Amino acid sequence: MTTHDAQQIEAANATDRTPVVFVHGLWLLPSSWDRWATYFEQAGYAPVPLSWPDDPETVEEAKEHPEVFAGKTVGQVADHLQELIGSLTRKPAIIGHSFGGLLTQILAGRGLSAASVAIDPAPFRGVLPLPISSLRAAAPVLTNPANRNRAVPLTYDQFRYSFANAVGEEEARELYETFAVPAPGAPLFQAATANLNPWTEAKVDTENPDRGPLLIISGEKDHTVPWALSHASFKKQQHNPGITEIVEMKDRGHALTIDHGWQEVADTALSFVRRFV
């Protein structure tokens, strides 16, 4: 447990508020949730942005030591997050973005969440569409098999396509400089082969009755996780006896949790969480 995680968990446990765990995805850090954390705290919750194993504290440190990201798998990160969530004294809501959205569904499927919001979630086993834009967004990693065991940074042009296609050039460059860090290649290979591997770690227990309510949020212009993928995840999750909903955010790309319109997305997530916890 990092000092950051320990402080977040201790602060949440010291209150009588429901914790809201935030899970980042590839190419981002827990700090990408800072504005969300403040927003949810003001709404009466105890925000807990959690790290993946070995996450650096800052973007600058991450760029200086990209090797720390290498080799992290979906299963390793999910187990790490489960252990951290187990340190909370109250069952949290969980909100995740991209691969954090996949992890959110994995954790909810393990019965760890009072309510969950998966934002532009990476696909899991049983999600079948293969949109061309998703393949292009993943190409910087998947075109080289050696990247499975590496940390892979995005160039600005790659970030512009996969994250920041729905914002202006100036904002896209600002988002890249402020938030983008290297990421492990392994999760993308796991997601890409999930339907070929019965033992994949990129799988979700969609039928667990303890999953709790789930909202999937999709960005209309997202290249990385377009509507076809989000909706396919939604259809799989509808097998659960709990409430399962999906909403599409108009004119939004994959950077919808960090760009200028983040608060509209946060409002949507907060409204859902408030209905149940």
Copy the structure tokens of residue 130: 């293969």
E-only strand ranges, 58-196:
93-97, 115-119, 151-152, 183-184
Which tens digits make up the pLDDT trace of 118-138? 999 999 999 999 899 999 999
Copy the structure tokens of residue 129: 């569409």
pLDDT score recorded for residue 254: 98
- If you average pLDDT over residues 260-266, what whole number do you get? 98
Is a pLDDT exceeding 80 seen at residue 85? yes
- Measured between its terminal Cα atoms, the distance across the chain in Å is 26
pTM for the whole thing? 0.97
Which tens digits make up the pLDDT trace of 33-49? 999 999 999 999 999 99
- If you average pLDDT over residues 106-129, what whole number do you get? 97
Which tens digits make up the pLDDT trace of 161-201? 999 999 999 999 999 999 999 999 999 999 999 999 999 99
Sketch out the chain's domains with CATH numbers.
3-274 (3.40.50.1820)
- If you average pLDDT over residues 73-87, what whole number do you get? 98
For residues 77-90, one letter each, b for 16 or more C-beta atoms within 10 angstroms of the residue's C-beta and e for the rest, the string is bbebbeebbeebee
* Residue carrying the six token digits 């934002």: 119
pLDDT score recorded for residue 2: 81
